[in-house]
Structure 1
Amino acid sequence: MTKIFAHRGSAGTHPENTMIAFYEAERAGADGIELDVQMTKDGALVVIHDETIDRTTDGTGWVKDFTYRDLQTLNAVYKFAEQYQVCRIPLLEEVLEWISGTSLLLNIELKNGLIPYEKLEEKVIGIVKHYRLEPRIIFSSFNHNSMARCRQLAPNIETALLYMEPLYQPWQYARLLGASGLHPYYRTVSESFVREAHLHHVHVRPFTINSEESMKTMFQYQVDAIFTDYPQKAKQIKKKA
């Protein structure tokens, strides 16, 4: 049964990667949430997608150049200013504390492809263990070295490889890195690909599926999960599928 992960929360209808978007994903009946983690100048783990704050806040500059306190002065309401007055950039800890009181799964994407945040893996794993959420967590990244590192540090937490272009026998590559999930760009996914991955006991969770047509296709392919900005819409389409 294909699970529905709310991409950056319910990012199609609420300010992405904010608590309000995560609350909405739970209300909409998503199975899980996907979010992105970066590190501030003073080592805080913050939930934001871009390496800069320009697109999603009223500030400008690199996440790594701000302290957590600095970032708290920004409004991350993004393009939803007419609906919501103020949304803050959350700490990963804030999200984990909330999610531990729900039954939601959580995909944590480590955003360390461009900036090699020092000890990001150790810090994220430490906080996940603190909340005892290991069975409900998936780590993913476009930085596959980072996923190999997570696997070494916490072999009991699932890792998944994000990628854009088609890969040759990616299930072999996943096994090499100890990953049990492939998170491909959805246009690279075919029914035979999903079947082959499943034969090798590798989960397939494509991103980012927003149109009704692509949702129906992915449900038909029986992928393990989809990442979508519209969890409520996905739930409705899944019911009819």
Structure 2
Amino acid sequence: MNTAAKPSNTAAKPLAVAHRGDPYRHRENTLPSVESALAAGADAVEVDVQLTRDRVPVLLHDRTLERLWGDSRSIDRVTTEQLAELRQGPLAVPTLAEAIEAVAAVDSRRLLIDLDDPVPVAATWSVVTELGAERSVAFCGPVTAMLAVRELAPAAEIALTWKQPRMPVRALLDDLRPRYLNPPFGLVTPEFTAAAAAQGLAVSTWTADLRRTMRRLRDTGVSSITSNRISVLRSVLDGRR
């Protein structure tokens, strides 16, 4: 993200990114989870976006509401009005707009929007621009989704999710212009980070939940680490026990 180290500066402290908020303390992809992650010192909060039946971007990883909300319906068959009926105390399925506003309320923090496919891209970007939040969000996801983002948003910050040990081909990088290559942590080595830097890319990685993994990744020169345990990651990056 804009506050991240340049690819050549491996001595800088990596960004601490909260995976779906603070899911060990609050249900993932909810506003209490996002707010808890910010309070724990996250530099950015990663969230997943799906579209409701009325084409409103909301925070949800799965295509159905079953796992988190005990409702077997697919999210694309439920309206935002119907979603409100699923509220469980302080917990509800938030809209993307609500999440952007929650993060924008904290200085210098950002929202990392994970898009698995191109379908939600246009509606997502519409919300971002309506709120004037172009500089406070970034995007991650696979090639097809990120190409759709780039077509709508020439200046958007992109982390290309990448699950192969070899680097992307140059033609793809020229079209997509990502700032980050975003592999799972098992692929990250000092050699991988160096190869990415040779292509002008920083490395962001996910999802590290053990201290020893966090320390190993930090020492490879990555620019961003995503974790479900944001307070632990914050303490590792800050050199605290």
Q: Does 1:155 align with 2:134?
A: no
Structure 1 distance, partners of 2:115, 2:197, is 25
In 1, distance between residues paired with 2:169 and 2:15? 20
CA distance in 1, matches of 2:181, 2:25: 27
Post-superposition Cα deviations, 1:20-55, rounded to whole Å, max 9, x if no partner, equal: 011111110110100001101111111001111111
1:199 maps to 198
Match of 2:10 in 1: none
Deviations 1:93-136 (A, max 9, x none): 11112222222111101133xxx63xx22221122122222223
Structure 2 counterpart of 1:168: 166
**Range 129-138 or range 181-190, more displaced:** 129-138
- Following superposition, the deviation at residue 168 of structure 1 comes to 2.1
| Residues 1:227 and 2:226 aligned together | yes
Distance 1:87 1:176 in 2: 40
Q: What's 2:214 paired with?
A: 215
* 2:95 maps to amino acid: L
Distance in 1 between residues matched to 2:223 and 2:71, nearest whole Å: 37
Which has the higher mean CA deviation after the structures are superposed, 39-48 or 171-180? Answer: 171-180
Aligned residue number for residue 121 of structure 1:
121
Aligned twin of 1:82: none
2:29 matched residue in structure 1: 17
Q: Aligned AA for 1:123?
A: A
Give the stretch that moved more between structures: 129-138 or 153-162.
Answer: 129-138
* Partner of residue 111, structure 1: 116
Q: Specify the alignment match of 1:40 in structure 2.
A: 52
Task: Quote the Cα distance in structure 1 between the aligned partners of 2:164 and 2:116.
Answer: 21
Unaligned residue ranges in structure 1 (runs of 5+): 78-84
Residue in structure 2 matched with residue 61 of structure 1 by the alignment:
73
Once residues 229 and 173 of structure 2 are traced to their aligned partners in structure 1, the CA distance between those partners, rounded to angstroms, is 28
CA distance in 2, matches of 1:167, 1:237: 26
Alignment partner of 2:103 out of 81, 89, 99: 99
Is the 8 Å Cα contact of residues 171 and 200 (structure 1) preserved in structure 2?
A: no
For residue 86 of structure 1, report the CA deviation from its aligned partner: 4.2
Query: What is the aligned length?
Result: 226
Identify the residue that residue 3 of structure 2 maps to in structure 1: none
Aligned to 1:3: 15
Distance change in 2, residues 1:71/1:111 (3 Å): farther
Identity among equivalent pairs (%): 26
Partner of 2:7: none
Q: Aligned partners of 2:115, 2:92: CA distance in 1, in Å?
A: 20
Q: Is there any run of 5+ residues in structure 2 with no aligned partner, and where?
A: 1-12
TM-score, L = length of structure 2 = 0.87
Look up the equivalent residue of 1:58 and give its one-letter code.
G
Cα distance in 2 for residues equivalent to 1:188 and 1:225: 14
Give the alignment's Cα RMSD to 1 decimal.
Answer: 1.7
Q: TM-score, normalised by structure 1?
A: 0.87
Equivalent position of 1:80 in the other structure: none
